[in-house]
Amino acid sequence: DAKTTQPPSMDCAEGRAANLPCNHSTISGNEYVYWYRQIHSQGPQYIIHGLKNNETNEMASLIITEDRKSSTLILPHATLRDTAVYYCIVRVASTNFGNEKLTFGTGTRL
Amino acid sequence: DTAVSQTPKYLVTQMGNDKSIKCEQNLGHDTMYWYKQDSKKFLKIMFSYNNKELIINETVPNRFSPKSPDKAHLNLHINSLELGDSAVYFCASSEAPPGWKSHSGANVLTFGAGSRLTVL
């Protein structure tokens, strides 16, 4: 079962920042927050991930609250090409045993 | 180009037929996956292989049989196709098994473009 909740859809004006929220109130200490997006008719694409610090890369920024129960993906200057379904996922990425099943929820359609 | 490639992209077939979808990755990853995305757009894991060994097998009918001849290939064979098998099937790969730490630290999944299967 997905461990995250996201709004089903959001709108954003082109050129403005898109802020996509995600709640993960049951996140464990060793679970990371990952964001993927799926553009229509394509496979999901990795965007960014983080544990507790804010992260930034060429695609986006990830802001994680201090209690780690929620996060926000920020696309600084959204364009039409950013139209996609955005998935927020929590997963372990720090062990060398077990086989966690990476589960995608319903995501947010931007 | 380095990528996860799957063939065919589209597959239309009759109920009861047997069909295969092939997947290859040239990223040097150890782990490969098959995901199914149904008409409601839910993306569900079906199988995962690490170095040719099955490590995840979700509740999937045994009409579905994955085969990994080497760690760069993971094929999906489906027997006796049913209407409910119509979906988009995505192949993916990652450096290490899910939940493990990879050399790059991120252990992200790289997905193929998908194979849309339509059963008539």
Which chain B positions have a beta carbon within 8 Å of A103's beta carbon? 44-45
B87 and B78 in contact (C-beta within 8 Å)? no
Considering only the beta carbons, identify the residue of B50, B98, B105 that sits closest to A100.
Answer: B98
Residue of chain A with shortest Cα separation from B43 = A104
How many angstroms away from the CA of B98 is the closest CA of chain A?
Answer: 5
Three-state DSSP class for A89?
A: strand
- CA B60/CA B33 separation, integer angstroms: 14
- The pLDDT tens digits of the residues spanning A31-52 come to 889 999 999 889 999 999 998 8
- Following CA atoms B14, B20, B25, B28 in sequence, which dihedral angle do they give, to the nearest 10 degrees? 150
Is B109 in Cβ contact with A44 (below 8 Å)? yes
Token pair recorded at residue A59? 């695609």
With CB atoms and an 8 Å threshold, state whether A43 touches B55: no
pLDDT at A106 over 90: no
At residue A1 the predicted structure's pLDDT band, cuts being 50, 70 and 90, is very low
Distance between CA B10 and CA B16 in Å, rounded? 18
Which strand ranges, in their side-by-side order, compose the sheet holding A108-109?
A45-50, A31-38, A85-92, A108-109
